[in-house]
Amino acid sequence: MNLIAELAGDEKSEKSRTFVFSEGGHTVGNALRSIVSRYPEVLFCGYTVPHPAEANMHFRIQTSGIRAVDVLRRGIEDLEKLCDHTINSFQVNWSYQNSNADLPVIGSPVYCELDHAATKAG
SS3 per-residue string spanning the chain = CCCEEECCCCCCCCCEEEEEECCCCHHHHHHHHHHHCCCCCEEEEEEECCCCCCCCEEEEEEECCCCHHHHHHHHHHHHHHHHHHHHHHHHHHHHHHHHCCCCCCCCCCCCECCECCCCCCC
* pLDDT value at 113 more than 60: no
Percent of the chain beyond pLDDT 70?
73
Architecture of domain 4-98: 2-Layer Sandwich (3.30)
What per-residue confidence (pLDDT) applies to 3?
82
Per-residue pLDDT, averaged over 102-107, amounts to 58
Q: What is the pLDDT of residues 46-103, one digit of tens each?
A: 999 988 888 899 999 999 989 999 999 999 999 999 999 888 888 877 776 666 656 5
Average pLDDT, the chain: 81
